[in-house]
Structures are given as C-alpha cells and as structure tokens.
Structure 1
Amino acid sequence: METFSSIECFVRSAEVGSFAEAARRLSLTPAAVGKSVAKLEVRLGVRLFQRSTRSLTLTEAGQLFLDQVSGSLTTIQNAVANLSSVEGLPAGTLKVSMGAAFGCLHIVPMLGEFLRRYPAINPDWHFDNRQVDLIAQGFDAAIGGGFELPQGVIARKLSPAHRILVASTDYLQANPEIIEPDDLSHHDGILIRSPQTGRVRSWQLTGRNPQNCQPLMLKARMTMSDSEAACRTAAQGLGIALVSMPFAVGYLEAGTLQRVLPDWFVDDGNISIYYAEHKLLPGKTRAFVDFLIEQFAERGLARRFSAI
C-alpha cells in the first residue's frame, strides 16, 4: 500500500509538474509528496525527476515509468471507487466543468432528478467558459462546444452547436430591411469575443443548403464575451447579435427577440460531454454521462438547439 501511495504521488506530480500542486490535490503536504517520491526512487533504483528550485521535469526513466503506470493507476482507483459505492449505487464526488450561463440555463435544472436517482453522488460543478484540462485538473467530465480533443479524452455529442442572428422587433422596424447576408454590412453588430483568445472570430454563414456559404459582414458596434449578455443587449434594440442557440431559444420563444435571416446560421460543430478514456470508467462518471444523454433526448434539447 505504501508503494501504491508513492506511485500516486509520482503520477500526480508528473501531471502537474510540481510537488506543491500535487500535494494540494492529494490533500498532503509538499514535503510528504517529495519524501514519498524519493522513497519510490530508492526502491526502483532510478531517478524519476530532475529537480530545481523552479521546475520539476521527468528524466527519461521517469517518463518511461509514467507511461507504464499511469493508466493502471487510474484503472485501480476507479475499481476501488466502484466497489465502494453505496448499496450498489454510484457514489463519490463528481467534478464537472461547464459554461456559466449554459450550465445555469440548461444543466442545473436537471440536478434534482439526477440526485434523486443517485443520492450518493456529490456534485462539484465548476462554471467557467474556458476549456479545462480534464486529466491534469482532476475533472470527471466537461460540457461544452468547440473544444480541441486531447489524447485520451472522449467526446459524446449532445446537440449541434449552431449560432444564429437575432434582434429585437423595435430594432428591425427602425432600420433598413434585411433580405440577404450582404445587407448586414449596414447594421450594428453585437459580436462575441472568444474567452480563450480575446479576439472576435471571423464567421461563415451557412444556408439551409450547406453548399451556400457567405462571410458574416455585420458591422461591429460592440463586443461581448458571453452569448447571454449579447441576447440581453439585443433585446434592448441596440443591434443584431450573433449568439449560440442554447441562449437564444428562451428569448425566441418569449418573443423578446426574433431571428434575422432565418435561413442562415453558423455551424460551430457540436455541444458534447467530454471525459477521460479509461478501461474502467468510474460509476459516477458513467451514470452522469448516460443521464445527460438521456435528458437531452427526453427534453428535446438537440432539436431546440438546432438552427435548421
């Protein structure tokens, strides 16, 4: 058991490149983690890390050992977690990352039903619009769209990630008619700034015939980093907003906003749930993934989030 703990200290330190950060995640002291790794090095007879006051890097032997043990360590930990479930039900802390507004609008309303089914699971939900490193940051899952798929991470599609143009009735009545995408160049735009890069992306509008594509020529009157904020701004009659469908549906159904050029939209891939690929997935993670896919189907969210 002591060797297993030392291996866990080694793997976590290698993942984050720091004894201090590994200690924080393992609820230990940095000194305890350092001593545990040192004992492992003595037992193995090799040096696993090159240490300096500012960095912690793997040696060639350390990288080889990490490649051999990290997957097995996760499998053993998941097996232990599954066996320690409460009365056969999945149990434990479920750490999930999701966008703030999207999570509050569409995922939090599912929480009550999820906990009724799985009362031994403790949600630890993080609301952040930035992509997280699932493995290095210890997340069980993440929900979002447009993420790069790192090695060892699986994505299960929940719905399309479409963006549409919306405006208030007052704005549309007070400004020139919009019949074709080229007409947008004469209108004030409320554009979305990427939270990752801080820049406004160049978008391609797609027609209902996927072969019809035109660049979005909307004049930037203002920029926002959040689709919910852009919807609220457009509802004040301040311009035309390009927003994600999950944020627009409530405003469209209430009549507060209406679609502009309803035969055109931006295809931004899919909204998915992401989780690390394991031979033995923890029961709590499997339960959440299956539950979310079921709820998206039952609530018709894939259909509601489609611009087509």
Structure 2
Amino acid sequence: MKEIFSAIPIFVAVVESGSFSLASERLGMTKSAVSKRMSSLEDNLGTRLFHRSTRKLTLTESGEQFSDYARNSVYIAQQGIAAATLNQGSPKGTLKINAPMTFSRLHLVPHLKEFLDLYPDIKVILSMDDKIVDMIEGAYDVGIRIGELKDSSLIARKLAKCNSVVCAAPEYLQRAGIPNTPNDLKNHNCIYYSLFQAGVEWTFLKADKKLKVEPTGNFIVNNSDVICEMLLQGLGICQMPTFIVQKYLNTGQLVQVLTTYNLPDHSIFAVYPERRHMPEKVKVFIDFIEKKFCSAYWDLDYGKSS
C-alpha cells in the first residue's frame, strides 16, 4: 500500500503531462525511473493503467477511473500542506512563475534579487514565454498576464494598467508620412506581433466608436524586443505597450502618432490557481510585485526627474 500511495503524485504528473519524458522533467526524475514506478504501480494494483505506444500515451478505462481519485487526492494533499504551513515562520519552498518574455526582462527580473533577499527560503523558477501556457498542467504557482483574460478557473489580481501607443521612428515618418487616421495605416508598413491576443486587428476608439484596422507589412514576429528594435531602425510603425517604448518616446527615438484616438484599456494581472488556502510563498510574491508595479513607473518620463 505504501508503494501505491508514494506513486500517486508521479502517476498524476504523467497524466497531466501526457508523457513519461515530460513528467520526468517536471518531477526532476529520469524517464526510466518514472516508467518503472508506473509499471510497479500497475503491478500493485493488478491492472493496466496506460496504453503505451511509440507515438502516444493514453489511459485505459481503469486508468481513467483511477485518475479521478488520484488527482483529487494530490489536490487535497496540496491544500493540506498549504494550510498547515500558512503561518509557520517565513515563506519557503519553490515558486514557479510563468511570465511574458519582454515584460519579465524589463520589469520583473530587475526586482527578483530584492525579493529573494527578502525571502531567502524561497527558490524561484521563472519560465519566460509569450505563449499562454496551462498553469495547472505546467504546475505553475503564479503567472503574469497582460491584456484581456480568458475565462478560466484561475484567480486574477490586477497589478497595473497597461497603456499602449502607436509609434514609429522619426526617420520612418519623414519617409512614409504621418498617419492622421487609423485608415491611413493601410498605406504604412505595419510591424505585427504574431501572438497578439486581441487578434489580427488593431482597434481604435473615438467618440464612443470603434474603428478596426488590419495591419499589413513585411515583418511579423513573435517577440516584442525584436519589434522594438525594428521600430528604432525605422522599418515601420507598430502598436506597442508603453512598458517597452516609453523611454524611447521620452528621448525622441520613437514618436507617438494618432494621439487623438484611444486604444482599448488593458491591464497587467497576477493569476494563480484557485485554492482555499493561498500558499504563503505565492501571497508574498504577489504582494511584492503589486507594490512594485501599481504605479506603472514605466510610464514616467525617464528623461526628467519625477
């Protein structure tokens, strides 16, 4: 019975990851060790839990039935651990964070040393990825999300407002002209962010009316740092968050256009799985970054004293 109980978290990791190899990475075990534990679990239960093939790993009918109970037992155990350790001394443990690449580099990473100095018993694993990942499947404790949030079981706390502007380098505007209306963008080289959550259209607001323009241009990329570099080089025009471009607007390296139009309001959120008792390590991290981000300091004029 002891072997069965100890194998349940490994079984759940395999089910949620979809493969032995991904589960082994998640658990910090070798693939062969995970496979052996699952074979031993099947032997102890007297039933086959997985259909194994070179391409796919799927659950048998018995595996499906066992999975429901196993996942619930792991969840309840996690809740118990969180409740038991909620007020026991300083926060501790491994904190897995998922956050967008450029925002992390510019505004999260610079604060992490201070956070780790404040909480030396916390170990941070930061995954920087512009794609929206499954928080539960990836076993993340907290994520940073920017823009509109999709409906999910995650809890969200707003950290700051996320302003955006349409901008370009002065040399580009001298060459291509300054757009006066969103429709003028049809005649411009629009650099496009391929992972833009709002879709393939740029939305502008004026007098309670929405105007949508589909950007077209000769460069599309999935990284905001690269877009910013292309803007600075004068390749084209783009809609960008001020947490990336404000300092270049302040120095004149980039110029905002279409200033009489508003862009949709977006925010920066911390998201985390719903739990009856929030782990202390998650609580202190969210409280910490909320204090850092709530003023949206990146919107300040860096060229002047605040």
The TM-score, its normalising length taken from structure 1, stands at: 0.81
- The question of 1:119 aligning with 2:120 is answered yes
1:144-191 Cα offsets, whole Å, 9 max, x none, are 335774754333333344542102234334543432222333333222
Q: Distance in 2 between matches of 1:241 and 1:53?
A: 45
Pick from 189, 200, 213 the counterpart of residue 202 of structure 1: 200
**How many residue pairs end up in the alignment?**
300
Q: CA deviation at 1:97?
A: 1.9
Q: Distance in 2 between matches of 1:19 and 1:223?
A: 35
Query: Quick one: structure 1 residues 269 and 10, their matched pair in 2 at CA, closer, same or farther if it must change by over 3 Å?
Result: same
Equivalent residue number for residue 278 of structure 1? 275
Q: CA deviation at 1:108?
A: 1.3
Q: Distance in 2 between matches of 1:176 and 1:30?
A: 58
AA matched with 2:250: E
Q: Is the 8 A contact 1:190 1:220 kept in 2?
A: yes
1:248 aligned counterpart, secondary structure = helix
- The question of 1:182 aligning with 2:179 is answered no
Q: CA deviation at 1:268?
A: 7.1
Equivalent residue number for residue 37 of structure 2? 36
Q: Is the 8 A contact 1:186 1:218 kept in 2?
A: no
- The question of 1:291 aligning with 2:292 is answered no
Q: CA deviation at 1:107?
A: 0.9
Q: CA deviation at 1:71?
A: 3.6
Q: Distance in 1 between matches of 2:235 and 2:54?
A: 54
Q: Distance in 2 between matches of 1:177 and 1:21?
A: 50
Q: Distance in 1 between matches of 2:191 and 2:33?
A: 52
Q: Is the 8 A contact 2:3 2:41 kept in 1?
A: no
AA matched with 2:273: A
Q: Distance in 2 between matches of 1:110 and 1:65?
A: 43
2:167 aligned counterpart, secondary structure = strand
Q: CA deviation at 1:111?
A: 1.4
Q: Is the 8 A contact 1:94 1:122 kept in 2?
A: yes
Query: Quick one: structure 1 residues 150 and 69, their matched pair in 2 at CA, closer, same or farther if it must change by over 3 Å?
Result: farther
Q: CA deviation at 1:126?
A: 2.0
2:135 aligned counterpart, secondary structure = coil
AA matched with 1:239: G
AA matched with 1:228: D
Q: CA deviation at 1:116?
A: 3.0
Q: Distance in 2 between matches of 1:95 and 1:123?
A: 6
Q: Is the 8 A contact 2:200 2:215 kept in 1?
A: no
Q: CA deviation at 1:301?
A: 6.0
Q: CA deviation at 1:260?
A: 0.5
The TM-score, its normalising length taken from structure 2, stands at: 0.81
2:217 aligned counterpart, secondary structure = strand
Equivalent residue number for residue 236 of structure 2? 239
Q: Distance in 2 between matches of 1:34 and 1:171?
A: 58
AA matched with 1:250: K
Q: Distance in 1 between matches of 2:232 and 2:167?
A: 9
Q: CA deviation at 1:15?
A: 0.9
Deviates more, 1:290-299 or 1:2-11: 290-299
Query: Quick one: structure 1 residues 295 and 39, their matched pair in 2 at CA, closer, same or farther if it must change by over 3 Å?
Result: same
Q: Distance in 2 between matches of 1:171 and 1:28?
A: 53
1:23-42 Cα offsets, whole Å, 9 max, x none, are 33323344443443344445
TM-align CA RMSD: 3.3
Q: Is the 8 A contact 1:154 1:276 kept in 2?
A: yes
1:226-265 Cα offsets, whole Å, 9 max, x none, are 3332233223333322222321222123332121011324
Q: Is the 8 A contact 1:153 1:276 kept in 2?
A: yes
Q: What aligned pairs does 1:9-48 form with structure 2 within 5 A after superposition?
A: 9-41=10-42, 43-44=44-45, 46-48=47-49
Q: Is the 8 A contact 1:163 1:265 kept in 2?
A: no
2:37 aligned counterpart, secondary structure = helix
Equivalent residue number for residue 230 of structure 1? 227
Equivalent residue number for residue 253 of structure 1? 250
